[in-house]
Amino acid sequence: MTPDDARRYGISARIYVVTGTDTGVGKTVVTAALAATARAAGQRVAVLKPAQTGCPPVGADSDDPPDTAEVTRLAGRVTERELVRYREPLAPATAARRLGEDGVAAARVVAEARRLASGHDLVLVEGAGGLLVRLNTQGETIAEVADALAAEVLVVTRCELGTLNATELTVEAARRRGLRIRGLVIGSWPENPDVAQRCNRQELPEITGVPLLGVLPAGAARLGREGFRDVAAALNVAADHRPRPPADAVPRPHADRPGPC
């Protein structure tokens, strides 16, 4: 679906798909940062986690809250939506197969994102793990969801050694599928970066051709809501939901570049 189609269907909300180079890179924290910024601007925000794994059944006590609840904890009230949940900390397709189930269909995720888009200004769809992690036993991924929604994709990445390869692979896979990549975000930036981290921060946008929209400081997820909102505001992702011109026409936002590494 193109952005024009989206308007024709009456979808006015901005929909972002938040993916990453891996699991544990900070997708949830970045999702919360976008939600916090949008809420501060008075927007209605929905967070959709198509498949949550590694979480006990809904209602059970746990020290490991689902990602949607983490977003609310950090950003304040948002509409939380989760479509399937599996206890085992595995890819959704794997966890589903082990229970004799199929997982969640991309079409169901797309339909729910569209439904949420009709009542919110911003819809954030957080995948599980990296871009090509399978949502179901048919092999569909969050990439198919992003494509069907014509959503902009944010790629959350690490800054440690190893990220250059993982980030290029993710960006290449997204481009091959025709996805619109809005930018990269480093999910956790240390207080005292080492040489690899400093160089990676500089090189990631250069080697991928994708703007680095910002970094979240390590420890951001431990801040209270106000502190978190301030940190989140530094991310260079527009909180408005006006239709955006095609990616090629968007001038590269100023990436917060460190000095030469």
Ligand X SMILES: Nc1ncnc2c1ncn2[C@@H]1O[C@H](COP(=O)(O)OP(=O)(O)OP(=O)(O)O)[C@@H](O)[C@H]1O
Catalytic annotation on 49? yes
Which of Mg ion, ligand X, ligand DNN, none does 133 bind, CB closer than 5 to 8 A by kind? ligand DNN
Active-site entry in 14, 49, 180, 241: 49
Which of 37, 52 has the CB closer to ligand DNN? 52
Q: Token digits for 6? A: 């989206």
203 vs 38: CA distance, rounded Å? 29
Give the contact letters, 172-191, x = binds to ligand X (CB under 6 A), - = no.
---------------xx---
Q: Token digits for 86? A: 């599996």
If one asks whether residue 23 binds ligand X (CB under 6 A), the answer comes out as yes
* Residue 82: strand pairing partners: 49
Q: Is the dihedral of CA 24, 30, 66, 229 positive or negative?
A: positive
Among 50, 66, 127, 129, binds ligand DNN (CB under 6 A): 129
139 vs 193: CA distance, rounded Å? 38
Strands, DSSP E only, in the chain? Answer: 14-20, 45-53, 79-86, 122-126, 152-157, 180-189, 212-217
Among 3, 54, 76, 217, binds ligand DNN (CB under 6 A): 54
Residue of this chain nearest to ligand DNN (CB atom): 129
If one asks whether residue 221 binds ligand X (CB under 6 A), the answer comes out as yes
45 vs 242: CA distance, rounded Å? 15
229 vs 4: CA distance, rounded Å? 32
If one asks whether residue 193 binds ligand DNN (CB under 6 A), the answer comes out as no
Beta carbon of residue 199, minimum distance to ligand X (angstroms, whole number): 20
187 annotated to a ligand binding site: yes
If one asks whether residue 187 binds ligand DNN (CB under 6 A), the answer comes out as no
52 vs 31: CA distance, rounded Å? 15
Of 38-46, 108-116, 126-134, 225-233, the segment contacting ligand DNN by CB under 6 A is 126-134
224 annotated to a ligand binding site: no
**HEC readout, 31-92:** HHHHHHHHHHCCCCEEEEEEEEECCCCCCCCCCCCCHHHHHHHHHCCCEEEEEEEECCCCCH
Which of 85, 205 has the CB closer to Mg ion? 85
Among 6, 17, 28, 155, binds ligand X (CB under 6 A): 28
Beta carbon of residue 2, minimum distance to ligand DNN (angstroms, whole number): 30
Radius of gyration of the chain, Cα coordinates, nearest whole angstrom: 17
209 annotated to a ligand binding site: no
If one asks whether residue 27 binds Mg ion (CB under 5 A), the answer comes out as yes
185 annotated to a ligand binding site: no
Q: Which residues sit at the interface with ligand DNN, rule CB under 6 A?
A: 23, 53-54, 89, 91, 128-130, 133
Catalytic residue IDs: 49
